[in-house]
Amino acid sequence: MPDTTERRPYHHGNLRTDLLDAAERGLRAHGAERLSLRDLARDVGVSHAAPRRHFADRRALLDALAESGFVRLGERLRTAVNEIGDEGDLPARLHAFASAYVRFATENAALIGLMNSSKHRPGATAVAEAAAAAFGQISDLIQDGQERGELEGDDPEETGLVIYATVLGITSMLNSGMVEPARLEGLVGTAVTQFLRGARPAEPR
Amino acid sequence: MPDTTERRPYHHGNLRTDLLDAAERGLRAHGAERLSLRDLARDVGVSHAAPRRHFADRRALLDALAESGFVRLGERLRTAVNEIGDEGDLPARLHAFASAYVRFATENAALIGLMNSSKHRPGATAVAEAAAAAFGQISDLIQDGQERGELEGDDPEETGLVIYATVLGITSMLNSGMVEPARLEGLVGTAVTQFLRGARPAEPR
DNA sequence: ACAACAATGTTGCCAGTGTCTACTCTCGCG
DNA sequence: CGCGAGAGTAGACACTGGCAACATTGTTGT
């Protein structure tokens, strides 16, 4: 009878990604606060000090998690907007953007909380860049609309920032329990239409 | 020579409030994550298990902190709006509201983060109520505007929620470093005017 | 082929922490 | 006056993050 005790190799192979996966599961299950490096090490089947080779710090692990979150969020937003069609009307694309953001945020509540709360340590430019990339898309959208005359306004980045902030705020209120999930759809709807009403070019008298 | 070792009484007197004060200082200094009950106990000069008589849990302490934050925020918002004058024009009052919120949030960055991230435990109705009280003011403002015909729209609570979310989102982006402090003024300005443009009654053709 | 070396994991340790239980002190009330 | 409830103390336990010293493996230059 062969030995059933699985003999793991000394080198795990891809500890880093496995740790991140386990971390994300833990995040989803118990929140970021009680996410312990030692626990993750146990989950992956590795000694308690092993993670240190890949993450200098608990904070570093969380930052990496946040960064990967921003990357995936960015992808989701991009595909959501693109699915509408390249020359689709702006309102639809805006709504798709906001809707996709909110969906991502509800499906990954703890992760989004981590992303926003993460006061990334001084050197962590990676997470900031990923966030900027995700956010930048809306500025492009706005600029597009302005160039085509569908929108009025001056600074596309500034207005984009405001929209992004609105959606972010909505999900934040949702995740902290200030508003019930059932109201989500309605909220993003009024937010987007409110914005569009405010940004449309003045009708000729 | 008299004994200089201050003889503290066995009963501290008002441990609870002193702990909260110390906690707020710690919050401001080091953030919520590294806020240790034992540390607070030391600060106040009391044994490490004493806080337990007043806060069942670390979480309970944080919740109490968040609640007090909402109460104070509510007061600040109220006075800010009232200072404009009882019959003052709506744009000015809205701007005052948003401005006061943002100011509070920047002056108490860590606290506001705690307030928003605090997924208050099941029983904690107190913090939710305090939050609702703070937020409710904007709904009243909107409703007022609608009744006087200065604003168009249907559900005042819903639009109030959207505005609140916008301001909340702006401060969140600020505190997480996605936007520089210098842009704050401009952002709340465009947010408010954007909203007002969208919510004003249609001009007669 | 092989020695040196850099990566990657492991064990052991330390200072802290939150929480629990049992004990002690003090004040106020019958 | 005594005594019980409230408020603070002391000790223990399981756990955590971080560090240092050691072990094992993959790689690479010669």
Q: What is the mean pLDDT of residues A36-56?
A: 97
From chain B, which residues contact A within 8 Å (Cβ)? 31, 113, 115-120, 128, 131-132, 135, 155, 158-159, 161-162, 164-170, 172-173, 175-179, 183, 186-187, 190-191, 193-199, 203, 205
How would you label A90-101 residue by residue, b for 16+ Cβ within 10 Å and e otherwise?
bbebbbbbbbbb
Sign of torsion over alpha carbons B72, B77, B80, B83: negative
Residue B106 structure tokens: 């920047």
Q: How far is A198 from chain B (nearest CA, A)?
A: 3
- Ordered by start, the domain boundaries in chain B are 1-55, 57-199
| Contacts across the A-B interface (CB distance below 8 Å) | 135
From chain A, which residues contact B within 8 Å (Cβ)? 31, 113, 115-120, 128, 131-132, 135, 155, 158-159, 161-162, 164-170, 172-173, 175-179, 183, 186-187, 190-191, 193-199, 203, 205
User: What pLDDT shows up at residue B3?
Assistant: 42
Residue B42 structure tokens: 């030391």
CA distance A192 to B110: 30
Q: How far is B72 from chain A (nearest CA, A)?
A: 18
CA distance A56 to A4: 35
User: What pLDDT shows up at residue B126?
Assistant: 84
CB contact under 8 A, A135 and B178: yes
Q: What is the mean pLDDT of residues B37-47?
A: 97
Question: Closest residue of B to A191, CA-based?
Answer: B162
Percent of chain A with pLDDT over 70: 89
pLDDT range class, residue B2, cuts 50, 70, 90: very low
CB contact under 8 A, B118 and A176: yes
**Dihedral of the alpha carbons of A76, A94, A177, B175, in degrees to the nearest 10:** 80
Of B128, B170, B198, the CB nearest to A197: B198
pLDDT at A3 over 50: no
User: What pLDDT shows up at residue A10?
Assistant: 61
User: What pLDDT shows up at residue A16?
Assistant: 97
CATH number, domain B1-55, options 3.40.50, 1.10.246, 1.10.10, 1.10.510: 1.10.10
Question: Is A57-199 in the same CATH topology as A11-55?
Answer: no
DSSP secondary structure of chain A: ----S----SS-S-HHHHHHHHHHHHHHHHTTTT--HHHHHHHHT--TTGGGGT-SSHHHHHHHHHHHHHHHHHHHHHHHHHHT-TT--HHHHHHHHHHHHHHHHHHTHHHHHHHHH----TT-HHHHHHHHHHHHHHHHHHHHHHHTTS---S-HHHHHHHHHHHHHHHHHHHHTTSS-GGGHHHHHHHHHHHHHHHHSPPPP-
Percent of chain A with pLDDT over 90: 74
Q: How far is B7 from chain A (nearest CA, A)?
A: 39
User: What pLDDT shows up at residue B87?
Assistant: 67
CATH number, domain A11-55, options 2.60.40, 1.10.10, 1.10.101, 3.40.220: 1.10.10
The model's pLDDT over B155-198, given as tens digits with 9 standing for 90+, comes to 999 999 999 999 999 999 999 988 999 999 999 999 999 999 98
A37 touches strand D (CB under 7 A): yes
HEC assignment per residue over A123-159:
CCHHHHHHHHHHHHHHHHHHHHHHHCCCCCCCCHHHH
- Residue A153, sorted as left (phi over 0), alpha (psi -120 to 50) or beta, turns out to be left
Q: Round the average pLDDT of chain A to a whole number and report it.
A: 90
Q: What is the CA radius of gyration of chain B?
A: 21
Domain A57-199, classified CATH 3.30.470.20, yes or no: no
Residue B97 near residue B77 (C-beta atoms within 8 A): yes
Q: What is the mean pLDDT of residues A20-46?
A: 97
- A166 contacts in chain B (CB < 8 Å): 162, 165-166, 169
Of A165, A177, A203, the CB nearest to B166: A165
Other residues' Cβ atoms within 10 Å of the Cβ of residue B30? 13
Residue B61 near residue B55 (C-beta atoms within 8 A): yes
Lowest average pLDDT, out of A78-82, B84-88, B134-138, goes to B84-88
User: What pLDDT shows up at residue A89?
Assistant: 87
The model's pLDDT over B46-105, given as tens digits with 9 standing for 90+, comes to 999 999 999 999 999 999 999 999 999 999 999 999 998 766 689 999 999 999 999 999
Residue A133 near residue B178 (C-beta atoms within 8 A): no
pLDDT range class, residue B205, cuts 50, 70, 90: very low
Residues across chain B: 205
The model's pLDDT over A137-156, given as tens digits with 9 standing for 90+, comes to 999 999 999 998 889 888 99
CB contact under 8 A, B172 and A194: no
CA distance A61 to B153: 46
Sign of torsion over alpha carbons A72, A76, A79, A82: negative
